[in-house]
Amino acid sequence: MTVKDGWISFDLGRFRPHEFAFATYSGSPHDRLPTLPLGHPGGLHEWMRALVPLGELAAGEYGMDTVTDGAPVSGHEAALPAEFVAFMADPVLRDSVPTCTSCYWAADLRVAPSPVRAGALLVRFLNDQQGCLYWYLHLLPDGGHEVLCGGEAYDLQQVPREVAVEDLVRVADGFDRFIARFWIENLAWYEVAGQKRSDAELSAPVWEYVRQYAGADGSVTG
């Protein structure tokens, strides 16, 4: 039984408004998402490291929330992905991820059997402050992993398979790709919606990302 692919996130102001007014999160198909700099020298971790100082500039008078309370990853009962372990073991990266919805790292990385794949495990690693959404490492039997997002706490209650299939969305085929997109989108929100910067005032990484929502003439398209 498979889950649907997509991306669950907040709006990006004029570049990606919500389909419904007053929504906190909404979905986007993968084929409409901007590309990430997968070929960046040093990989996505080094690309994200260069985003750290931009967070201070985008904080504004009310400051910027960052994802807090990272869980220890050494000695975990599950075989956690190497890219996740490396990220969480790096305090510069782990403690600098911006969040415009006050998300926070899961404190204990609880494990639950996957309701959508036999032999797989779910490890909750990120929470929305209001409990609207949770993000999971989906550890696959072949040793691979992907990132799923849903509104159910699978480590706290048993969820019927048919409910899980409707709830869960595959948001990335690996942790690095997930957290890189999560980072740049939150930074973009602070610059675009929070500070209301013009296109010319956006930081280079944010503009490189959001301009992919614009037409060739610079006008924003749906």
For the chain, residues with pLDDT lower than 50 are 216-222
What confidence score (pLDDT) does residue 58 get? 86
The percent helix, strand, coil of the chain (3-state, each to 5) is: 30, 20, 50
Q: Which pLDDT score is estimated for 175?
A: 98
Long-range contacts of 203-212 (CB under 8 A, 24+ apart): 203/54, 203/57, 203/58, 205/47, 205/50, 205/51, 205/54, 206/54, 208/37, 209/34, 209/184, 209/185, 210/12, 210/15, 210/16, 210/34, 212/34, 212/35
What would the pLDDT profile of 72-109 be if each residue is shown by its tens digit? 676 677 889 999 999 999 999 999 999 999 999 998 89
DSSP 181-215: HHHHHHHHHIIIIIS---GGGS-HHHHHHHGGGB-
Confidence at residue 102, expressed as pLDDT on a 0 to 100 scale:
92
